[in-house]
Structure 1
């Protein structure tokens, strides 16, 4: 592999007039663009992507660049539309870095003509109707906390060629500011050209990083954001909780990838040309192979929803066809001089997918939560696509650099950001690596967590493992109470209507809870598990008028005031049960928690970042049950 640094336009000329597959990447605000070229290879599984296993590499060098289709999420057992897309790999033979200004000067500005413009699968009115349907029939029926339903636009670029592709990329470099990666990928058959604001996953020398982004402030055309507008955005409860929800979802992934723990950094502001986002940085360590980490991270909740498995099912239900390479990962694989694997990847959003014949598709979606406004979400989706479409249709000749950057260091703005974390879980905000969280009553005890299709089960496992327990996660489908010799069982959270007695999942959950009670085995039930237990104890479980999906509340938890996080659409109504203590809201009669000699249960999530003292609550509950 050849690696060098150039200040001339020769590499650009080679790509402009050559035939080899190539990739160009600008990271953040760097003044250089990485230029790579090589040979195409198609793969059908993540395991087939790597090459040169065990060979020492060059620091910073890339061995393979892979465009992964969204349908690859089926490797995790999740549903997705597919048009038989392959993983498109370019094995890198040559790489260099070119000065940004010299690249802009070397790439000609081409006229881009779209035959009949861009036609979207759904009109704004139809898209708004779908959003309302998801709010009513999915979030409103307990199927999840948030979903990202994309709308797809399609068109045809007249006389497509490399020069036009590079011209679009040139314009995107000029029009967009603040992206994690601004890239063009071409494997000889398909172009991906985009400015992604969001890191998917990075792994370097065992350090794992993810960047959940959510919350969007749209800038008015041709204007900068005022201090008052930014502060109002940062204090908007919907925007705050939207970010917390995706933070919770990515912590579920980090809990599976980083057994030694990690930390949460932020919130931070990402200032782009037409939008301002809020984000967190998640950082931990792992000894797992990068391909295993990549598979676990498929795909970001910011472009799918939560819980993840059900979110993919909902996307397949409401989206009309395959997502192609949208909202997946553009992955750069390499190896350092110590033969340790490295990975950097961006989420292909705000990205045009263009076939060699000029067929183009663009996609965008907004994060839908319980109080989303369809009209506002449609506008947000349109804003996300405006920079990309502008680069195709109305290329600029000037670099776009936001003039409102001073606001990012304004002391009041920074204070408002810091205050967001005051009531979040200390367990996640403080670095846990090397911290001894062992509890005497829990240490060495075997705990089984039943996975009811919500990866919060892995966050629970992570927390209980740090307390000293030996924890295994078992799917509900395969769980057998009679053969389980664990000291304690956790009936985990999950989506769905606990009152649907025709649902095989609810039938088995009810049977498991009855078997646990009859066996005398100690158990803890969380969220859906709590609702099933409440039903088995004779309580009425009802659909709430307003779902509490991603909501923080101050509650009375058996005489103690606690700030906790809820992700539920259904809740039990208070009823006295002999031998059972009930923590409930006196006004609404909603049951928050139960405890008896054999069991405990929570409607809220002690494992959520929204529960301030969640680690302590969980630890004290396990200690009581296991002592």
Structure 2
């Protein structure tokens, strides 16, 4: 199996770490449930890490205590409130295990010590029946994606059971089963974190996905999407090749890569680089994945806050995905789609960081999926979700949630385990698989594939030093736009739409994309775009509008905006941009139409610009331009936009009145 670069676990450190091989694990297994502990096996490791310590609950990620000891934080989905996002708030605590002792045990020794017999559990079914979940899928496609709310959304449901076994015995049994019957996990783990006066937090899982790691100044994220459900008879070469050719599965992965590249652009001043793709094979499923990497100097707690939460378990754009989840999930998520976060002091020149030196900590944070939760009273829940896109078939998404939960359910004894991974076919070794994976990169912009520090900034005195205000309308594609504009030599700052106070001061105003219906002027975001376009045009100041803002500009100019016959969410098209064909990524449900008669309000300053339209073969506007004004429907900053930087350079020069020069490298 291919292994992703940078996935080797860092060395364990702890205050008071035990040098003895087995006693700490024995102490955990003999405990009565009052001892907080974690058992971890990280990808590529032949050892299990045993951690024990003290439990501390904190309110914010920034409060995680980094005072010289390792800390394992269990972060619930409700922490998305720290970013101002809408979520069902169940009060689940941000719980920290401050490590006071640790040891490493070989996997073989750990398996020998852990209980081999599965704990008895009574299946209770699923909280959302199959037909009801299929109905949710249809509504999300029609009412959310079909109305411009976003490109993809993840809706969860829970498989439930009950056990009367003791918590430590239950967790130890689950952990052993996952160690022996699952493959390809990024982390296999069991965590038991009791705290006085609150429910004990007990969970075990085998998650395939790294959310974020920080080590020696390098940030890495690992978006995984697309699911090949192995047949009961086992995976096959033909089956995996069919999966790798599937349009829906390909677009699903590219959408989450775009969303996580937005985060990387926020974390890393020099941007991020895409590495891969890879095929991650597990016991019952296989996924496709990329590795994203870049350099950052952020406090690891702040880096986590800026990346809550992964689009693979929420959707995109992130803020509206949380709102959509709240509309369609009636129960809070608890810890599902949150993450574990292991903060470890990094040793430099033989010295650990001093107390409170957060920058001296590394971070390893896997996403909490493929996880079973043991609640007080013996209730067991296994959440699972499917990524819903415009091509989704409800019955297929129902089956995907069952397949994703099956590995954990097997460890509970609720579904047959089968023969196990020792009889699995190595899909990565099959003829044609490596070639099919490599072929995916033909759709990606080379700008985001090359190391960012190897891409020289375009040197032009005409653009250098110009100040650009980018307005974010709840879609962080603006972070990628900012990075590319900096690459072109401009100074950028990005401000959320409801925090902008002056749109006339900067040399260039870029009105960014966002979710919603561009015709709905009652929406405060849309009303703000209308107002700012009017202010900028009236003042004769350079303006560039992207996607949603392009549609609002087109509407003001008299070009009718309508819902497209089929949403263009996460697709790459060869678009005509004023006579030049360019490969551009699109994320739009609405489009402005070319008409023979442009009817705009006479008192509208945009109408007097007589904007020149550029259209595709379906009569949908790809771009507009006029004196000091331009707009584009596509996302020039998307990883799908092979020609995006060239087009961005051209439209930026147009609105600023700068003569064209040789185009930047693609």
Partner of residue 55, structure 2: 40
Residues 12, 107 of structure 1: 8 Å contact kept: no
Residues 234, 416 of structure 1: 8 Å contact kept: yes
Residues 569, 587 of structure 2: 8 Å contact kept: yes
SS in 2 for 1:550: strand
Structure 1 359/489 Cα, relative in aligned 2: closer, same or farther at 3 Å?
same
Counterpart-to-counterpart distance in 2, 1:28 and 1:556: 46
Partner of residue 98, structure 1: 105
Partner of residue 58, structure 1: none
Partner of residue 362, structure 1: 382
Indicate which of 189, 210, 219 corresponds to 1:199.
210
Indicate which of 518, 540, 543 corresponds to 2:538.
518
With structure 1 as the length reference, what TM-score do the two structures score? 0.95
**Residue 403, structure 1, aligned to residue 436, structure 2:** no
Partner of residue 123, structure 1: 129
Counterpart-to-counterpart distance in 2, 1:401 and 1:259: 44
Matches within 5 A, 1:69-80: 69-80=76-87
Partner of residue 167, structure 1: 173
Counterpart-to-counterpart distance in 2, 1:305 and 1:358: 32
Aligned-residue offset at 1:261 = 2.6
Aligned-residue offset at 1:457 = 0.9
Partner of residue 649, structure 2: 619
Aligned-residue offset at 1:499 = 1.4
Counterpart-to-counterpart distance in 1, 2:269 and 2:51: 35
Partner of residue 2, structure 1: 16
Partner of residue 317, structure 1: 327
SS in 1 for 2:519: coil
Indicate which of 133, 142, 146 corresponds to 1:136.
142
Structure 1 225/105 Cα, relative in aligned 2: closer, same or farther at 3 Å?
same
Counterpart-to-counterpart distance in 1, 2:220 and 2:121: 39
SS in 2 for 1:543: strand
Question: What do residues 492-540 of structure 1 show as CA deviations (whole Å, max 9, x unaligned)?
Answer: 0000011123222222221211221111110110000000000110110
Indicate which of 567, 571, 580 corresponds to 2:611.
580
Partner of residue 394, structure 2: 374
Partner of residue 446, structure 1: 467
The count of aligned residue pairs is: 613
Residues 211, 282 of structure 1: 8 Å contact kept: yes
Counterpart-to-counterpart distance in 2, 1:398 and 1:542: 54
Question: What do residues 337-375 of structure 1 show as CA deviations (whole Å, max 9, x unaligned)?
Answer: 233221001001010111243222221100000110000
Counterpart-to-counterpart distance in 2, 1:65 and 1:226: 39
Counterpart-to-counterpart distance in 2, 1:401 and 1:35: 26
SS in 1 for 2:391: coil
Residues 171, 397 of structure 1: 8 Å contact kept: no
Question: What do residues 207-252 of structure 1 show as CA deviations (whole Å, max 9, x unaligned)?
Answer: 000000001101012x332211111111111111110000000000
Counterpart-to-counterpart distance in 1, 2:243 and 2:430: 15
Indicate which of 16, 25, 35 corresponds to 2:29.
16
Q: Which consecutive residues of structure 1, in runs of 5 or more, have no partner in the other structure?
A: 56-61
Residues 464, 490 of structure 2: 8 Å contact kept: yes
Aligned-residue offset at 1:471 = 0.8
Question: What do residues 523-560 of structure 1 show as CA deviations (whole Å, max 9, x unaligned)?
Answer: 11000000000011011000111111111111221111
Aligned-residue offset at 1:147 = 0.1
Alpha-carbon RMSD across the aligned residues, in angstroms, is 1.7
Counterpart-to-counterpart distance in 2, 1:144 and 1:312: 11
Partner of residue 92, structure 2: 85
Aligned-residue offset at 1:42 = 0.8
Aligned-residue offset at 1:439 = 4.2
With structure 2 as the length reference, what TM-score do the two structures score? 0.89
Runs of 4+ aligned residues of structure 1 deviating over 6 Å after TM superposition are none
Counterpart-to-counterpart distance in 1, 2:20 and 2:219: 31
Aligned-residue offset at 1:258 = 0.4
Partner of residue 406, structure 2: 386
Counterpart-to-counterpart distance in 1, 2:73 and 2:126: 27
Indicate which of 501, 506, 529 corresponds to 1:486.
506
Structure 1 349/29 Cα, relative in aligned 2: closer, same or farther at 3 Å?
same
Counterpart-to-counterpart distance in 2, 1:540 and 1:220: 48
Matches within 5 A, 1:402-481: 403-405=424-426, 407-440=427-460, 441-481=462-502
